[in-house]
């Protein structure tokens, strides 16, 4: 019943609903220490959905662009906090979180063609990803250089 653009538009709408479901889970669960695993998993899944949410101005669901550009920062920063707080031996979790975080600058770059806010936020996301990469690649420093010395 739909042409190719209509199908893409409907798929975008369905992906947006899934994106919003994960956003709500992250928002609700992140304050509960007992829901840490759910928060982390939904953060990863939400950011991985970004590759399906790039929109152009001819699609019906273009009105949600501002939400798509700003909402990913909550799970993005949540995963960044996980990386910073992880002092245990679970390096695999840090690498998975970093991989999910790397989706946001890519998404914002694609959206930046049509949205100046996305371009500005991309630069911020890139800086945060670089900080996360430095922590994951060199966990032994544990931000010792950022803390004032007590001597």
pLDDT in tens, 43-90: 999 999 988 887 665 554 555 666 777 789 989 999 999 999 886 666
Neighbours of 71 (CB within 10 A): 18
CA 17 vs. chain centroid, Å, equals: 16
Q: What domain range is 36 assigned to? A: 4-141
Q: How many domains does the chain have?
A: 1
Does some domain include residue 147?
A: no
Closest CA to 120 of 57, 73, 64: 73
Does some domain include residue 146?
A: no
Does some domain include residue 127?
A: yes
Query: Is 73 within 8 Å of 30 (Cβ atoms)?
Result: no
Does some domain include residue 25?
A: yes
Residue 84 CB contacts under 8 Å (≥ 6 apart), including other chains: 135, 143
Of 55 and 28, the structure prediction assigns the larger pLDDT to: 28
Rounded to two decimals, what is the model's pTM? 0.64
Does some domain include residue 151?
A: no
pLDDT for 145 beyond 70: no
Does some domain include residue 69?
A: yes
Does some domain include residue 148?
A: no
pLDDT tens-digit readout, 91-108: 888 999 999 999 999 999
């Amino acid at each position: 019943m739909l042409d190719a653009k209509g199908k893409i538009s409907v798929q975008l709408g369905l992906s947006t609903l899934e994106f919003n479901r994960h956003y709500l889970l992250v928002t609700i669960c992140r304050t509960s220490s007992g829901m840490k695993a759910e928060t982390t998993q939904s953060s990863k899944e939400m950011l991985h959905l970004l590759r399906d949410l790039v929109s152009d101005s001819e699609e019906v669901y273009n009105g949600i662009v501002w939400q798509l550009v700003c909402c990913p920062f909550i799970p993005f920063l949540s995963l960044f906090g996980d990386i910073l707080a992880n002092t245990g031996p679970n390096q695999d979790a840090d690498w998975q979180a970093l991989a999910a975080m790397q989706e946001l600058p890519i998404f914002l770059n694609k959206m930046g063609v049509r949205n100046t806010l996305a371009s500005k936020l991309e630069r911020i996301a890139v800086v945060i990803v670089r900080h996360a990469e430095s922590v994951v690649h060199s966990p032994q420093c544990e931000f010792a250089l950022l803390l004032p010395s007590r001597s």
